[in-house]
Amino acid sequence: MSDWHPTRDKILTAFKDGKPKAHGEVAKATGLSLPAIWRALHDYWKEGFLLRTEKPTFEAIRVFRGRAGFTRNTRSYYLYILKPEGVNSIEIQGKRFVGYAKKHLDIRGARETSKSRLVLSFLRENPDRAFYSTEIAETLKEKGVRVGDVIGAARRAERKGLVYVRGYRTHDCQTPFRQGYLLTWIALNKPREEAIKEAVERTSVALFENSTSPIIERIHLIRDQIISLTQLKDLASFNSLQEKLGCTEHEAYLAVERALQLYPDLKEVKLFNAYKYYYHTSISQEDLKATLALKENYIRVAKGRENRIGHNWEACVEWFIDKFTVGAEFQTQDHRGKRIDPRRITLYLLKPVGDRRNTAEVDRVWSVTPGVFSQPITYVLESKWGLIRKHDVDDFFNVLRWSKEFGVDTENGRGIKQAVIGVFAGGVFNPEEKVHLKDESISLPSYASRMNIQLLKASDFNIKLHEHGCDNKVSVQKLCERSKNEGEVKETLDDIWSNPKKGEEILAKLTQKNQDLYEFEKMLKE
């Protein structure tokens, strides 16, 4: 070693332990800046003080971005070691270290090489992987490559059939994923169909493994479930997909809807205009027809109990509304079916809400005038059995605001008319569910209150019964489960209200009376 040089000696001293090091490790050991290390390592390799790996190493890294979650990038680097005296190449841990020579220069960083060629060389040198455009830009940023350079080079190579580019596929366009487009090299030494199939598979693997978005993972799981069930000549129901995903009904709905957009080979069929099933187009028409017939028969028998309890709950809510709403004027409407209560009201929608296109039904509409000089207040009732979530409240709110009867155009968009209050009656609300707004998280009842919607739950009606003298074992939940139909619900409530002390005895007689119905439903379920 010639004249003393402080920077050079500090860098070379970091290699005295004989272990290969990358520029980042040298920077940490010496405290020098990365640009200074980059230049110095190249110079000392050229001057014969160091040996460098013949090929760069590519490493996938996972970086936490705070609220944005985790991102994955691919970085490339060389390793260096001190050059032993009289040795111009050496192999350590499967990596070949070589002395300086023009043939070993990194062509990606040569000034005479274009950015487009750098991108294509990167993809060609890694033919067994797919990369996001942002990953490639991050890897080659030291060479001045930006994301726009990567996309431009990829599109030009795509037209030549060299690179496969994948993004979100909608009806007539393609948009990038959150981390950019996925790019991979198309093998030219294989049959074209096989090479493209392998390229698609590589992007699918990268999309699944590198995804930081829960909806992407759900989409892949949905596709896998539908394809696997199709192989068994079966259909996937929406409820089974939701259970597999382990998410809310609304989250499952969004994921299924997106999966159908991204994969045209996944199809949806709706039975009885209510129950959704999904299949892959690989199923034959004969098998599809037979499977649909089986599903229709299953729905006829297995959904009976669920529908019965749901209708009983509506009758229960209506009974309490009729009982405790004094001085109210209920709206009525003629229906084609004589069995439909005339106080059930059909609203006309200006815009589709969910599966409802032109109309939507509500259980009751009534008006109350608080005083002589007060404006009437109109209440609109909607009932639903089961666990109620934010999506259900939003759906009811959208029905009201887009209805011709209760919606109104405002400066801030479509809203609900003044003096119109929605009343949503649900079996139970999740007390731990929080609604995340822009600057705060609030409970579901508080969220509904801001939209001028009152929430009623089964326990509210139980309190009325217990205050009237019924035993604590008497509940509307038991009543709905044990009653045969809506008429029996109202008759039983009349009996309980007239004889509150005998409420438990009345429910016991109801259970005995309908024992055959329960056994039949149990048999169908089994």
**pLDDT digits over 161-189, tens only?**
999 999 876 656 778 887 889 999 999 88
- Using the 3D structure, point to which of 209, 228, 255 is the last residue of a domain: 209
Q: What tokens were used for 143?
A: 């060479």
297 and 399 both lie in a single domain: no
Who wins on pLDDT, 212 or 53? 53
382 and 490 both lie in a single domain: yes
Q: What tokens were used for 394?
A: 């939003």
413 and 488 both lie in a single domain: yes
CA 485 to chain CA centroid, Å, is 37
pLDDT band for 113, please (50, 70, 90 cuts): low
Please give the backbone phi and psi of residue 396, each rounded to the nearest 5 degrees, phi first: -65, -40
pLDDT band for 115, please (50, 70, 90 cuts): confident
Say yes or no to pLDDT of 368 above 70.
yes
229 and 203 both lie in a single domain: no
Which residues face 378 on adjacent strands? Answer: 367, 420
Burial (CB count within 10 angstroms: exposed 0-12, middle 13-18, buried 19+), residue 111: exposed
Q: Which residues contact 13 (CB under 8 A, 6 or more apart)?
A: none
Cα separations in angstroms, 395 against 117, 391, 400: 53, 6, 9
387 and 349 both lie in a single domain: yes
204 and 347 both lie in a single domain: no
For the chain, what is the mean pLDDT?
Answer: 84
- Using the 3D structure, point to which of 209, 229, 249 is the last residue of a domain: 209
Tell me the three-class secondary structure of 93-122, residue by residue: CCEEEECCCHHHCCHHHCCCCCHHHHHHHH
Q: What tokens were used for 189?
A: 């030494």
Number of domains in the chain: 3
Q: Which residues contact 11 (CB under 8 A, 6 or more apart)?
A: 26, 30, 32, 37, 40, 41, 44
Say yes or no to pLDDT of 1 above 60.
no
Neighbours of 384 (CB within 10 A): 18
Q: Tell me the pairing of strands 420-429 and 453-457.
A: parallel
Rg (Cα) of the chain, in Å, rounded?
Answer: 34
d(CA 240, CA 242) in angstroms, rounded, equals 5
pLDDT band for 2, please (50, 70, 90 cuts): very low
Q: What tokens were used for 461?
A: 């009606």
Who wins on pLDDT, 254 or 248? 254
pLDDT band for 203, please (50, 70, 90 cuts): confident
Cα separations in angstroms, 427 against 381, 424, 457, 463, 478: 14, 10, 5, 14, 12
CATH number at residue 324: 3.40.1350.10
**Alpha-helix residue ranges (DSSP H) falling in 263-302:** 285-302
pLDDT band for 123, please (50, 70, 90 cuts): very high
What is the domain range of residue 297? 214-301
318 and 413 both lie in a single domain: yes
Which residues face 368 on adjacent strands? Answer: 377
CATH number at residue 272: 1.10.10
Which residues face 381 on adjacent strands? Answer: 364, 423
**pLDDT digits over 210-245, tens only?**
655 677 778 888 988 999 889 888 999 888 888 888
Instruction: Taking residues 486-512, report their average pLDDT.
Output: 90
Q: By mean pLDDT, which of 33-47, 274-288, 507-521 is the weakest?
A: 507-521
Give, in degrees to the nearest 5, the angle at Cα 306 between 353 and 494. 100
For residue 17, is it within any domain? yes
399 and 473 both lie in a single domain: yes
DSSP 180: B
d(CA 472, CA 384) in angstroms, rounded, equals 24
Give the range with max mean pLDDT: 20-34, 301-315, 486-500, 507-521: 486-500
467 and 328 both lie in a single domain: yes
Neighbours of 500 (CB within 10 A): 17
**Helix orientation angle between 486-498 and 503-513, rounded to the nearest 10 degrees:** 150
Say yes or no to pLDDT of 452 above 70.
yes
Who wins on pLDDT, 354 or 256? 256
For residue 87, is it within any domain? yes
For residue 1, is it within any domain? no
Global confidence as pTM: 0.48
d(CA 122, CA 19) in angstroms, rounded, equals 28
Q: By three-state DSSP, how is residue 92 classified?
A: strand
pLDDT at 306: 74
Tell me the three-class secondary structure of 138-161, residue by residue: HHCHHHCCCHHHHHHHHHHHHHCC
188 and 66 both lie in a single domain: yes
Q: What tokens were used for 125?
A: 């040198």
Say yes or no to pLDDT of 416 above 70.
yes
For residue 512, is it within any domain? yes
pLDDT at 189: 86
Who wins on pLDDT, 404 or 516? 404
pLDDT band for 17, please (50, 70, 90 cuts): confident
357 and 479 both lie in a single domain: yes
User: How many CA atoms within 13 Å lie on the side-chain side of 155?
Assistant: 10
For residue 79, is it within any domain? yes
Q: What tokens were used for 325?
A: 């709403």
pLDDT band for 150, please (50, 70, 90 cuts): very high
Closest by Cα among 306, 293, 324 to 461: 324
Closest by Cα among 161, 135, 164, 157 to 58: 135
pLDDT at 111: 46
- Using the 3D structure, point to which of 151, 175, 209 is the last residue of a domain: 209
For residue 171, is it within any domain? yes
pLDDT at 518: 65
For residue 432, is it within any domain? yes
Say yes or no to pLDDT of 364 above 80.
yes
Q: What tokens were used for 379?
A: 């209440």
For residue 279, is it within any domain? yes
326 and 268 both lie in a single domain: no
| N residues, the chain | 526
Q: By three-state DSSP, how is residue 152 classified?
A: helix
Say yes or no to pLDDT of 89 above 70.
yes
